[in-house]
Amino acid sequence: MQMNLADLFENAVDHFGDREYLLCEGKSRTYAEMEARANRLAHVLQKAGIKPGDHVGIYGYNSVEWIESLWAIFKIRAVWININYRYVEDELRYIVGNADLKGLIYAREFAPLVASVQDSMPDVGPLICIEDGSAADPSGLEAQDFEAAMESSHPERDFETRSPDDRYILYTGGTTGMPKGVVWRHEDVIFALGGGIDPNTGERIEKPEDMVAKAGDTPMVFLPIAPLMHGATQWACMSQSFVGNKVILIPKFSPDLVWDLVESQGINSMMITGDAMGRPMVEALAADHNRDLSSFFLLTSSAATFSPSVKDEFFEHFPNLMMIDAIGSSESGNNGMIFVEKGKTAMQGGPRVRKLGATEVLNEEGHPVKPGSGEIGKLARGGDIPVGYYNDPVKTAETFKTFHGKRYAMPGDFAQVEADESITLLGRGSVSINSGGEKIFPEEVESAVKSHPEVFDCTIVGVPDERWGERVCAVVQPREGCQPELTSVQEACRTKIAGYKVPREIHFVAQIVRSPSGKPDYRWAKATALEMGGATGASTT
């Protein structure tokens, strides 16, 4: 049977209508309520001229309305486009043009920015404004009010038959270049990201009812902390809905708010993006021991470095915690995962995971790397993968390659295959450092630096070196009241990584810049390191 994301959601609604589906900032929706409101909005968009295949942007912080918009757009076979709420005018102008928007749903806070790029939106029809209580001036925009538009519409489910070939486009964060739209077929998303394949058995669902059959009698309560503009949270919200679970969203990350919600809402499972969220969360725990967090038993981290030291701190607070470290990308979906055991958090290189789906590590000739050989190859996934990048045939050809008659997604992550066939992820080639002919991956060094007790966060980059070509430089956010010596950081690192990977230069900043999803901003870190030079940091040769 053919699969479509909106069909799977409607199937869940028919089975779990009275269950609570979504909670954000005090607003809640049951599955049936979400269905009715999404149907209303879908009819509004249809009446405004949005057709199957048209692109509609969603621009705002995490909210109930974000999810209502998501399902409404999919219901009419249109394509929603995630817009980064951190964009400045030029970036917003770029995404509006590159994505060929035909409609835009935005939070009032961003009305002035939307107004500033109106001249770049000649083809944008409906503008719909979500009232968020901000004081932003919405004048100058002929926009419908989100709630008023809902009231003028009807809640019936009377849409045309959908296709597994309907499109879902995920714009990447653009941490090493301009954002790119990754184009997926709905059916491929379901099997690569949406829970359509059992990670333990590899068994694929054959019909929507198979997904509902996975549901428990008591729904799980799940908190994905990253913004909805980040793929992992989108996939989490969709996949959790297919099995009748409850999803809780927060508009902005706050560690204290997270633990307050665990206590008040009985959250069972959370998804974080590595240290950027994990470290502040364990520090908030250490500062307040008076919460009942007994409902919480499962933590998943993906999309960013999750250091052993932070994992150990979680286990100190939750000795029986189930912890999953997962790897994947916008272009490949889930590549691998591992259940992390207490007392066994140390890493050799990057995270070591059990591969999922049609994941391989390929050499330059496109052959699988031999397990235990020590050969470094590139992470690749075949099978259910994207069509390519939207409006970018050159980058599509670079990333989606065919070897020996099989097509793979290869975003550029280097990896090794261990003797037991597990995969050790080394890092993205585009940010690797070449020092004296040795390739050094920042993620491994970052994890080592953050093991130092006076380091709160760091980003590793390469800076020019006359002798070695590049040397390893650490841009460090120290813990409050601390400023560790370079030699002390180096000593800590030498117990974790080889000597040639140890930072030779260190610079201190008030705060490490990351994307809202927690990923390092390597462009910012490199510019900061070059600007600071040796003036405010320390270095050795």
Q: Examine domains 221-429 and 432-539 and report if their fold is the same.
A: no
Classify residue 197 by its DSSP letter: B
Task: Enter the pTM of the model.
Answer: 0.88
Fold assignment, 432-539: GMP Synthetase; Chain A, domain 3 (3.30.300)
- Give the bridge partners for 270, in sequence order: 223, 299
How many C-alpha atoms does 331 have within 13 Å on its Cβ side? 26
Q: How far apart are the first and last CA of the chain?
A: 62
**Whether 159 contacts 71, CB under 8 Å:** no
Instruction: Compute the distance between CA of residue 531 and CA of residue 509 in angstroms, rounded to an integer.
Output: 12
How far apart (Å, rounded) are the C-alpha atoms in residues 347 and 507? 25
**Structural domain spans, the chain:** 5-198, 221-429, 432-539
Predicted confidence pLDDT, tens digits, the chain (541 residues): 689 999 999 999 999 999 999 999 999 999 999 999 999 999 999 999 999 999 999 999 999 999 999 999 999 999 999 999 989 899 999 999 999 999 999 999 999 999 999 999 988 999 999 999 999 988 889 999 999 999 999 999 999 999 999 999 999 875 556 789 999 999 999 998 878 887 777 788 888 889 999 898 999 999 999 999 989 999 999 999 999 999 999 999 999 999 999 999 999 999 999 888 999 999 999 898 889 999 999 999 987 778 899 999 999 999 999 999 998 899 998 889 999 999 988 877 678 899 887 999 999 999 999 999 999 999 999 999 999 999 999 999 999 999 999 999 999 999 999 999 999 988 887 788 989 878 898 988 999 999 999 999 999 999 999 888 999 999 999 999 999 999 999 999 999 888 999 999 999 999 999 887 788 899 899 999 999 984 444 544 4
Q: At what angle do helices 31-47 and 64-75 cross, to 10 degrees?
A: 60
Name the CATH topology of 221-429. Rossmann fold (3.40.50)
Which of these CATH numbers, 3.30.365.10, 3.30.930.10, 3.40.50.980, 3.50.50.60, describes 5-198? Answer: 3.40.50.980
pLDDT tens column, 238-268: 999 999 999 999 999 999 999 999 999 999 9
| CB-based contact 24:250 (threshold 8 Å) | yes
User: Distance between CA 465 and CA 276 in Å, rounded?
Assistant: 29
